[in-house]
């Protein structure tokens, strides 16, 4: 990248603007799978569609305060969807009590539906979890979860919509 000349950068910048800005991707080393039907919107479009809190968490990678979301203690049976694009992400079957104050799951409903990125912010190396379809920020995944995966997907309530399953 160091050899790229200024005019090239300007061209890339202009192309980036024309193509619904991909600048978010450039900030991180991405370890993810491709997905069909990706949703890409401008930040202005997201800002119109999402509430302020949803925008802060999903698009600006914010974190809701622990024990303040409406789903961390949700014990109902059902599925959890991306609050931005409605992709099904987690099931109550894999939700567990983590004591952290955020909804916690040991695995996603489908490994293709979430992507994991390396997050180097705040002087830590963490694995960020995003929605594969809209790249909305969901939370982080840690290696201290329960069996059978040993993983703990620590997800913001704000990033999720819950739909109770009918019996």
Least distance in angstroms from the C-beta of 81 to Zn ion: 8
DSSP state of 150: T
Q: List the one residue from 50, 57, 71, 85 that touches Zn ion (CB under 5 A).
A: 85
Contacts of Zn ion in 51-80 (CB under 5 A) = none
Least distance in angstroms from the C-beta of 134 to Zn ion: 3
* 154 included as an active-site residue: yes
Residues 108-147: x/- map of binding to Zn ion (CB under 5 A)?
A: -----------------------x-xx-x-----------
* Of residues 40 and 121, the one with the C-beta less far from Zn ion: 40
Least distance in angstroms from the C-beta of 85 to Zn ion: 3
Place of tokens 């594969």: 132
The residues, any chain, with a CB within 8 Å of residue 59's CB and separated by 6 or more, are 43, 46, 47, 50, 136, 137
Place of tokens 């961390």: 72
Q: List the one residue from 50, 57, 84, 160 that touches Zn ion (CB under 5 A).
A: 84
Burial group, residue 104, by CB count within 10 angstroms (0-12, 13-18, 19+): buried
Distances, alpha carbon 33 to alpha carbons 19, 106, 123, 124, in Å: 21, 19, 26, 24
* Of residues 63 and 86, the one with the C-beta less far from Zn ion: 86
Place of tokens 């990248």: 1
Residues with active-site annotation: 154
Residues within the interface to Zn ion (CB under 5 A): 82, 84-85, 87, 131, 133-134, 136
């Amino acid at each position: 990248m160091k050899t790229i000349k200024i005019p090239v950068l300007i061209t890339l910048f202009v192309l980036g603007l024309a193509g619904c800005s991909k600048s978010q991707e450039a900030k991180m080393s991405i370890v993810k799978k491709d997905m069909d039907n990706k949703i890409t919107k401008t930040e202005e479009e997201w800002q119109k569609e999402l509430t302020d809190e949803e925008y802060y968490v999903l698009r600006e990678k914010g974190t809701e305060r622990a024990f303040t979301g409406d789903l961390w203690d949700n014990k109902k049976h059902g599925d959890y969807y991306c609050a931005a694009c409605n992709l099904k992400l987690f099931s109550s079957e894999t939700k567990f009590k983590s004591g952290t104050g955020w909804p916690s799951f040991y695995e996603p409903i489908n490994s293709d539906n979430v992507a994991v990125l390396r997050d180097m912010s705040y002087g830590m190396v963490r694995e960020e979890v995003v929605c594969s379809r809209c790249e909305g920020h969901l939370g982080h995944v840690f290696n201290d979860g329960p069996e059978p995966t040993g993983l703990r997907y620590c997800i913001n309530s704000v990033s999720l919509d819950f739909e109770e399953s009918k019996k």
